[in-house]
Structure formats: structure tokens, C-alpha cells
Structure 1
Amino acid sequence: MSLAEDGLLIVAIDGPSGTGKSSVSKAVATALGIGYLDTGAMYRALTWWCVDRGIDLHDRSAVAREAQTFPLAMGTDPAAPTVQVGDRDIAAAIRTPSVSAAVSDVATNLGVREQLIRRQRELMARVAAETGGVVAEGRDITTVVAPDATVRILMTASEEARIARRAGELASTAAATRAQVVDRDRRDSAVASFMTAADGVVTVDTSHLDFDGSVKAVLAVVDEGRGRD
């Protein structure tokens, strides 16, 4: 399935933890008047679902089977994105420390990745058709999920900046924050490429940018990419 269609704006944003890609992506989608998709939330939702159902996350085949059919619904309004499984709102539950600590076991499962990448591409195509475009952020979006996107961006930041930002969000110890940021990135990078820009992907370094500056930098790249397109 190709996401590249005339008139549709597909913005793919990759990057490691703590670069600001989630908050910036939502602001960019709002500014552009298009939909938003947090693909990382889909892995978190599956993690929550499996734990809730008592499925061993190390049973890779069982978890991959759940990825095919679990009743996930993603709300793609950037002003109020939602995550539901069945009739349960789990947007807060998937951000708990227990899910954060376990999600890499799911995200590095190749069977899971195959199923969720399929779902991501289908959802991106639907949202883009409904709103004129979509900003999708996560890991390997620019290289695997949407290599044909109109604009592909890798958001980066220094390790120090990333840890400082995430520590502020989590109000946790330095060791716990490092585990959330650096250690998880190291595990996930075994199956997803999100640390260096592939050919045709524009790098936006947010190390020394505040939120508004980061949004402006990404919008400038989008404007340039739309002009080329």
C-alpha cells in the first residue's frame, strides 16, 4: 500500500525518546489542520492488553497473535488524541512505569511489528483521506512504515537534553530516567532504525530549541518538502 497520493500531506517523524517528537508532532498537525498518529502508543496499548489478559510477554508467538486482533481504536485528533481497547480508555494506563518498563519486550517482537506496521499504514491512509494529511510519529516511521511520505524528519537531541526533558516529565531519579530513555532506545534500536537519518530524511536537532522553536523548525521543513513535492 502506498501512502503517497496526490494532494495528501504525509509527515513522518522519527526519533529517540526525549526529543519532543510527540508534543511537537501534535502541534504541527494542529497547525496544518490534519490528523495525528502516535504509533508508539500502539505498542504500549498491546503491552497493556497482554498484561491485563495474563499473556506472557516473552511468549513471542502468543503476543504476535494478539497484535492481529486486539480491539484497538486510536483517536487521531491532535488536540485530543485517544487510545482505547474495546470500550476502555487506556491513554493514561499505557504511560505508567510498569508499561514503560515492559514495552520493549513487545516492540522488539518482529511478529508484532509486522502486524502493527500494517495497522499503522492502514490508519495513516484513512486519516489522510479524511483530513487531507497526517503527522505520524514514532520509531522507524521514516524508513519502514512510511518511506514514501511527503516529508520525513528525524528529530534528535543530545543525550543530556533528552534525559533532562524526560526527567522533568517523569519526576524520577536520574537512574530511572536513563533507563526510560537511553536503555530503552538501545534495546529498541535492535529492530528499528531511529537514531540516524536515512537518505532523504531531514534531521532536526532540538537540543538547544524550546518547544515553540522546535515546532517552527519542523514546520519549516514541511513547507520546504511540500514545495519540492
Structure 2
Amino acid sequence: MTNLDLYAKAEHLLGIEEATEALYDLYRSELDDYDVKTLLDVGCGRGGFMQRMISDGVKCKGVDLSALMVQECQSQGLDAECIDAKDVTGKYDAIVSIFDVLNFMNKEELVDFLESMAEKLNDDGLFIADINTLYGFKDVAEGTMSNDSEEEFLNVDAVFENNELHTKFTLFEKNEAGTFTKYQDTIVQYFHKINIFQKLEGLKLVEKQTFSLYDTEDKTLLIFKKR
């Protein structure tokens, strides 16, 4: 099981449903200003945002590196694949990466990814993503939390140091024998300064909005247009 599949198994215990819906509302409102007929959702998760956009008549495709997430999308009849976004074929009017997907990449990976996304946009295409601010990492994401039910117990321990957030997930899940199976892995996220996004060849940063998702100014929304 990959660390992203562990996250997928534990996500329902994290209490992020309200925040996720708020992000979907924000992205949808931004896309309303553009004539979007085709959309690529990178890091599509369980497909909630694609479902919203499909209801608006937009043709959507999703990719995610968690096979568990993609299986859930496919079970709903959504067009989703467990592949690297750089391997997607075709071009789109808009590409989105929702809920700090960009923070899962180091600087080199990030620049390579963004330049690749520019190649997958139609002329005048739009790319929208959100990232954690430094405050969002240091004062919101860092720390320890736990949650449990009769069938599961989750502990999350996150440490922010040297502009990296290392989050250890430990999940105990009750099995058919009545005992508990332990899953444990770590996910690393990286803080990125805005100037990285202002030096891209294929994308032009046209708007940035710092906003509050969990706490004061913990997120920044980035809107790019294809050069």
C-alpha cells in the first residue's frame, strides 16, 4: 500500500469534508467566469469536484496517484486513471489541482509538472491550484490529532521543519479475525514561495488570492493562463 492509498483509507477520519466542499465552491465560482467545456482534475480524489462540473455540462477527466481513489471514481462511472498527470493525452480548457496538491511536489518536480500542464491546455487555457501558506504549515498543519471508531483508530503526527511538513499516519483497522491490522506511512509536503510561480515559461500567474480555509490566511489560490 502506498502512502497515498493509506491517506485514502484514513481520509474519512480527518474531518476535512467541510473544508473540501468550501474549496469546491471556490473553484467552481472561479471557473464560472470562463467558457470551460473540458476539464482535467489532477489529484481528483474520490471525484467530488468532477461530479459538480459534470452537472454543469463540463466533460471531465481525473487522475490520481492513489489507486483506491481512482477505483472509487470509476465505481461512480467517472473517467479517472491512476497515472502521472504528465502522461495524460489530449488538451483541456481548464486544469485544476485542488487541496494543496502542489505542496506534495518538491521545487524541481513542481516546475516540471507546471510546464507539463501548460502543454495540456488549449489556447487561453486556465490552470487553478491552491497551496498552503507558511502560516498554514506552521500554525495549522503541524501538530497531532487522533480519531477512532469501533472499527478503526487513526493517529496523525505532523512536524514542520526546514520548509517541509512530514506527516506520519498510523491507522489500525479491524480485520475479519477481530484483531487490528496496522498501517503506517509518512507523507511529505513542501512550502513554496510565490516567486517560483512567476518564472514559468508556459504559464502566466494572473491572480493570487490568500484566503482562510481552516484559519486566518492559511491558503493561497493561484490562477494561471497559458502563455
TM-score by length of 2: 0.31
Greater share of residues in strand: 2
Which protein is bigger by CA-based radius of gyration?
2
Greater share of residues in helix: 1
TM-score by length of 1: 0.31
Which structure's relative contact order is higher, taking Cα pairs within 8 Å and 6+ residues apart? Answer: 1
